[in-house]
């Protein structure tokens, strides 16, 4: 399944166009490699998604063309959620 569609169906990102934009910005990785919206997602893949100041890592458990809202979280397992390190701190913020 395409990455952008999986992100929408799993509700990790609500809209497919937003998933496409996020992947074009280089904020999504599949198994440690930067991914495009057209990249293929398979069961067992690890996805890292950067949302603002946090990075979420999930493992793909199941692929489905459609899901109900209450079933969407069954498509993946949350492995890790971490704050992204601040890169350009000003002197007074250190």
For 33-69, write each residue's pLDDT tens digit: 999 999 999 999 999 999 888 999 999 999 999 999 9
Chain centroid offset of residue 90 CA: 29
Reading the block at residue 79, the tokens are: 């492995």
The pLDDT value given to residue 85: 66
In eight-state DSSP terms, residue 86 is: P
| Whether the predicted pLDDT of 23 surpasses 50 | yes
Q: Are 23 and 77 in contact (CB under 8 A)?
A: no
Provide the 10 A C-beta neighbour count for residue 60. Answer: 19
């Amino acid at each position: 399944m395409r990455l952008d569609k999986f992100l929408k169906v799993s509700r990790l990102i609500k809209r497919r166009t937003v998933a496409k934009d996020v992947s074009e910005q280089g904020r999504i990785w599949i198994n440690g490699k930067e991914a495009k919206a057209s990249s293929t997602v398979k069961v067992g893949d690890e996805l890292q998604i950067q949302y603002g100041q946090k990075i979420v890592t999930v493992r793909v458990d199941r692929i489905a063309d459609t899901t109900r809202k209450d079933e969407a979280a069954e498509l993946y397992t949350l492995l890790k959620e971490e704050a992204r390190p601040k890169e350009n701190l000003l002197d007074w913020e250190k």
